Amino acid sequence: MANETENPRVEPLALHAGAVPDPTTGAILTPIYQTTTYRQEAVGQDKGYTYSRAGNPTVTALEKRLAALEGAEYATCFSSGLSATTALFLSLLSAGDRVVVSEVCYGGTVRLLQQIFSNLGVIAEFIDTSREEALVKAASEPAKLFFIETPANPTLRLTDIALASKFAKLAGALVVVDNTLLTPVLQKPLDLGADISLHSTTKYIEGHNATIGGVLITRDKELHERFDLVRKSTGTIQAPFDAWLTLQGVKTLPLRIREHCDNAFRVGRFLESHPAIEKLNYPGFDSFPQHELAGRQQELGGALISFELKGGVEAGIHLMNSVKLCALPI
C-alpha cells in the first residue's frame, strides 16, 4: 500500500464545500447562526429555516461539506456520534427487528443496543463481520440492518464492505458503516455498496478536541428525510457553534489525517521489532493479515495502531500509567 493518499480532490472540498459567505457583509466564513427562531415574511413563508431544532444554516453548511467529502448528496448532523447512532436505530428499527453488528465495535454502540434498544424489542446479533462464513450465516435470515465498523477498534480487524453489503442485500438489510476511524478522506463506504456512512465528528473530523458531534451521510433522499424527522422529533441537532468549529476543523482534515497515518506508520515500525511487544496490528503493514483488503478499500493504513505486550494486562496497565505525552481519556 502506498503510504500517500491518491485522492487529491478532497482538499478543495474540505475547504470550500457548503461554505456560505455572509449575505449581509460578504464575510467569507459561514457565520455562526446563533439563533433559535427565524422571522417569516408571512404565515408559511420562510427562507428554509423556522426553528433551530429542525435546521440551522451553520449546521447545513457543515452537512453539505461532509456529504461532499463522502461523495454523497445528504448529511444530517447530530449533537454526538451516539445521537447519530440512536437516530439511525430509531429511523430503521422496530420491535422484533434483527440487526447484525460487527462483534468488535465501539463500546457505546454495544451498550446502546444491549441496554436500551433491547428493551424496545430490537434483536442485536453480534458476529465476526470480517469472516465470509459468518456473513453467509447472518444473511440466511431476514435482517433490517448490518452495522459494520471497519477498522474495528481495538483489533483493527477489517470487514470487506463490498462483500458485507452483498450479503446484507440478500437478507433485505441496509448497510451502515461506522467510518469514524478512517474518515471520508481514507474510506468511502457508499462507493463500496453501503447505504449509510456514520461518523463521530468528535474525533478526526473536528480534530481539535473541542466539540462532540456526529453525522449520518447517505445518497438516499428518503433515508435522509427520515433521519431529519427523527432528529427534529428527538431534539438532537448539533449546536451552531459546534458545527462552526467543526467546519473550521474539517478544512485541515486531509492534511492532518495524512500526518496521523505517517506517525502511525513510523511508531508501528519502531514498535514491531521492540522486545516488549507480543503482537502489533496495523493495516498498513504487509504483516497485517488483511493488508490486501486494506489496500483495496481504504487509502493508507489509518491513524491507529494497536498492540499487545509481553506480560499481558499488568504490563499494559503499567505502560498506560507511564505514558508521558498521551493523556488517559477515561
CB-nearer residue toward ligand PLP: 165 or 197? 197
Half-sphere exposure of 64 (CA within 13 A, CB side): 15
As a whole number of Å, the CA-based R_g of the chain is: 21
List 49, 106, 204, 282, catalytic entry: 106
In the complex, least distance from residue 99 CB atom to ligand PLP, rounded to whole angstroms: 16
232 is catalytic: no
In the complex, least distance from residue 133 CB atom to ligand PLP, rounded to whole angstroms: 25
Half-sphere exposure of 138 (CA within 13 A, CB side): 33
Query: What are residue 98's phi and psi, to 5 degrees?
Result: -105, 135
Amino acid residing at 295: G
In the complex, least distance from residue 168 CB atom to ligand PLP, rounded to whole angstroms: 19
- Cα distance between residue 285 and residue 297, in whole Å: 15
CB-nearer residue toward ligand PLP: 28 or 328? 328
Q: Are strands 214-218 and 123-127 parallel, antiparallel or unpaired?
A: unpaired
In the complex, least distance from residue 41 CB atom to ligand PLP, rounded to whole angstroms: 37
CB-nearer residue toward ligand PLP: 49 or 149? 149
221 is catalytic: no
CB-nearer residue toward ligand PLP: 82 or 194? 82
- Cα distance between residue 188 and residue 54, in whole Å: 28
CB-nearer residue toward ligand PLP: 171 or 264? 264
- Cα distance between residue 91 and residue 145, in whole Å: 11
List 97, 160, 178, 242, catalytic entry: 178
CB-nearer residue toward ligand PLP: 88 or 138? 88
CB-nearer residue toward ligand PLP: 203 or 291? 203
In the complex, least distance from residue 202 CB atom to ligand PLP, rounded to whole angstroms: 4
Query: What are residue 251's phi and psi, to 5 degrees?
Result: -60, -35
Which of 283, 297, 287, 299 has its CA nearest to residue 160?
297
H helices then E strands: how many in the chain? Answer: 12, 9
Q: Which residue is nearest to ligand PLP (CB)?
A: 81
178 is catalytic: yes
- Cα distance between residue 54 and residue 121, in whole Å: 28
**What percentage of the chain's residues is helix, strand, coil (to nearest 5)?**
40, 15, 45
In the complex, least distance from residue 320 CB atom to ligand PLP, rounded to whole angstroms: 17
Three-state DSSP state, 182:
coil
- Cα distance between residue 174 and residue 158, in whole Å: 19
In the complex, least distance from residue 261 CB atom to ligand PLP, rounded to whole angstroms: 17
List 98, 169, 203, 232, catalytic entry: 203
- Cα distance between residue 228 and residue 231, in whole Å: 5
Interface with ligand PLP by CB under 6 A: which residues? 80-82, 106, 108, 149, 153, 178, 180-181, 200, 202, 212, 214
251 within 8 A of 15, measured Cβ to Cβ: yes
Half-sphere exposure of 301 (CA within 13 A, CB side): 28
203 is catalytic: yes
List 53, 137, 219, 296, catalytic entry: 53
Active site residues: 53, 106, 178, 203
